[in-house]
Chain A
Amino acid sequence: MIAQLIKREVKAFIKNPGFIIGIILMISFYGILGNIVGSATKSAVEEVMESSVGLVLGEDTKLVRELIKLLNTTMGGRVRVYSSLDEAISETGVGILIPAGFTENATSLDKPVVLGGGVRVTTFSLTGAQARAGLLTTVSNTIERLLPLAISATYNVSLQPQKPVLVSGNILFYDKKISQEEFLAITALISFTPLFISLILGMNTTYASQLVAVEKVEKAFEMLLAQPIRRRDIVLAKILGASVASVLFGAVYLAGMLAMFVGTTGSVTAPAGAEQVSPIIITVNLLGPEILGLIGLTIVIGLISSGAIGVIIGSIVSDERIAGGLATPVMFVFIGIGFLTMFMGLPPNPVTAFLAGLTIVSLPYMYAISLLSGETVLITYSIIVAIGMCSLLIYVASTIFNRDIVVLGLRISWSKKTKERL
């Protein structure tokens, strides 16, 4: 008996076209997504592994020369010496300053060894940015390991116990010099924003599709369509109705996210006695208050677009079961785009500007990189594409609402063989 019941339930799912299309969509999209993220991560790591290190010498002692020799051997001959930190960062991407007094500090037991440094980062991609920022730590760790060997070789003494080597430096984020903490706050906020927006938009697609599909199930739909109102107005009402629900959901979600964000990355830990600064304020200070307006604009364009997608789904299905089956993968596609932006980053060029506009969720990200790279025309381009995309989706939704499909539903005729198999 139970086997029959389970068979019936499974059949109901398998026969649901939304479920089948959803699975195909998810496999295709996330398969592509995995490949893109994988290759991006690989190239980011390779780039870092192969990049040179620029050294600046604050003193020229026997120990320092021995240390450079060892470091160069360890790093496969990728160490270069420059006269200033700015030049080192500009030429190699990462610069380490061995300060005056280094030898004295390294050979005395009670003095800390602190290096200066800086790294150039020109991406918001979490993978790329953190790999680059991590270069400073990687180099200082290598120096920490090599220092006892250099001391032994220089002074012909037995091996010294390992001494911690710290690195204190700034990050040249595009052309702005910021601290590592500021860098962490900005990259995290700008990377997480598309993910947050994508979740809201995904929910909105589901809400909008349900608004139409449930109305069909309630059998009030045809009565509504026969009233003297424009179909376009019904479409807009549904989009706006779903958007209100999504904004409420988003507000609650944002409050939760902010609580988590402050708790995890925290307010930037300032030196003792200094005031703690919120990551949002740091971001606004760096990118200007316009970033908040841009996030708002993205949410508005995104809600209208995702609502239109939801209405399109609701229009072509006959009930909320199929609508749910189709809207859920669309939601995951939105979230996937958010993840893609977060992990991969987008270099500032017309192609990525077009893609950011097309996917909408990456607009704040594109704003940040176009502003920092000085190519502000790119964000204008993205916004135009996003508005165009939004208008196109509204047009498609309104057009479908004027077609028979909205009343009759999508008719997929299975072949006789497939029918029998199911």
Chain B
Amino acid sequence: MSERAVVVKNLVKVYGRDSIGVDKVSFIVNSGEIYALVGPNGSGKTTTLRIISTLIKPTYGSVYVFGVDVVREPLRVRSMINYLPEEAGAYRDLTGLDFMKFMLSLRFSSRELGDAIEEAVKIADLGNYLRKPVRTYSKGMKRILAVSTVLASRPKLLILDEPTTGLDVERSLYVRDMIRKYNEHYGITVLLSSHNMLEVEYLSHRVGVLYKGRLIAEGAPEQLKKSLGAVNLEEAFMKLKMGRGVAE
């Protein structure tokens, strides 16, 4: 049996009196796989990823990353993961290169740091722009800078919230390839969220469908499509949503 990278059990997050982020969500991400959380806006994807990344705490339930409790030992969890938030940016006053150096210096030192920076520079492929201040970057360039920094850190678990948001088609394809490459070559477990069903179908081994804070379906993309009689994940999602609506 493969090692469990993430175990989420009965996860509940309540924001206010009338606002429930996630509601009794349970799923497991196996080590070495790419697991995608899909769902519409406000379905609880970002909340779930933020809890797993130790950014916010669950109201109820438990989350373990490689057997470590995210609430009790957040620092240990952070040493095993890296997180790319949705709309991640960078410090405007730094150059792209300095941003990479700063972020990676929080994880590596001496030779390891040099190697990681070199790797990030290679992934970003921003040429001379890396020596220019981040404030001169386009949205896509900022995104690729952030993606390259988290990839180059080679964590055991990579948590990516909408990794290709704001990227053009060419760069989106490139990032997807890089995610797959890092998963296959370095055995990095990837937990991502996305609106883009094509991306999810291309990248992920398994998918969890979130709707209104609940996990309404889970499985391999092919398996989901087959069970719902859908030609693609978009159609599968719509069928699930409609079915859910009828059930409610």
Binding site for B on A (CB under 8 A): 215, 218-220, 222-230, 403-404, 407-408, 411, 413
Does residue B82 face the partner (Cβ distance < 8 Å to A)?
Answer: yes
Q: Could you tell me if A223 and B84 are in contact, using CB atoms closer than 8 angstroms?
A: yes
Q: Could you tell me if A222 and B78 are in contact, using CB atoms closer than 8 angstroms?
A: no
Residues in B whose Cβ lies below 8 Å from that of A215: 91
A-B contact pairs, 7 of them (CB 8 A): A215-B91, A220-B88, A223-B83, A226-B53, A407-B50, A408-B15, A408-B56
Distance of A227 Cα from B74 Cα, bound (Å)? 10
Residues in A whose Cβ lies below 8 Å from that of B83: 222-223, 226
Residues in A whose Cβ lies below 8 Å from that of B88: 219-220, 222-223
Q: Could you tell me if B146 and A223 are in contact, using CB atoms closer than 8 angstroms?
A: yes
Nearest-Cβ distance from residue B82 to partner chain A, whole angstroms: 7
Q: Could you tell me if A230 and B91 are in contact, using CB atoms closer than 8 angstroms?
A: no
Binary flags per residue of B94-138, CB closer than 8 Å to A gives 1, else 0: 000001000100110000000000000000000000000000000
Chain A, interface SS category: loop
Other A-B pairs beyond A222-B83, A223-B88, A227-B106, 10, CB < 8 Å: A215-B91, A218-B91, A218-B92, A222-B55, A223-B146, A224-B103, A225-B55, A228-B75, A228-B78, A229-B75
Nearest-Cβ distance from residue B7 to partner chain A, whole angstroms: 19
Residues in B whose Cβ lies below 8 Å from that of A228: 75, 78-79, 106-107
Q: Could you tell me if A220 and B89 are in contact, using CB atoms closer than 8 angstroms?
A: yes
Distance of A230 Cα from B57 Cα, bound (Å)? 16
Of A230, A408, A411, the contact of B75 (CB 8 Å cutoff): A230
Residues in A whose Cβ lies below 8 Å from that of B85: 219, 222-223, 226
Residues in A whose Cβ lies below 8 Å from that of B89: 218-220
Does residue B37 face the partner (Cβ distance < 8 Å to A)?
Answer: no
Does residue B16 face the partner (Cβ distance < 8 Å to A)?
Answer: yes
- The 7 closest A-B CB pairs, nearest first, are A219-B89, A226-B83, A222-B85, A228-B79, A228-B78, A404-B56, A227-B106
**Smallest Cβ-Cβ distance to B53: which chain A residue:** A226
Does residue B218 face the partner (Cβ distance < 8 Å to A)?
Answer: no
Of A220, A226, A404, A411, the contact of B81 (CB 8 Å cutoff): A226
Distance of A378 Cα from B89 Cα, bound (Å)? 51
Distance of A185 Cα from B146 Cα, bound (Å)? 58
Distance of A411 Cα from B89 Cα, bound (Å)? 23
Of A220, A229, A407, the contact of B90 (CB 8 Å cutoff): A220
Q: Could you tell me if A411 and B15 are in contact, using CB atoms closer than 8 angstroms?
A: yes
Does residue B87 face the partner (Cβ distance < 8 Å to A)?
Answer: yes
Q: Could you tell me if A404 and B107 are in contact, using CB atoms closer than 8 angstroms?
A: no
Q: Could you tell me if B55 and A219 are in contact, using CB atoms closer than 8 angstroms?
A: no
Nearest-Cβ distance from residue B98 to partner chain A, whole angstroms: 12
Distance of A226 Cα from B99 Cα, bound (Å)? 15
**Smallest Cβ-Cβ distance to B105: which chain A residue:** A227
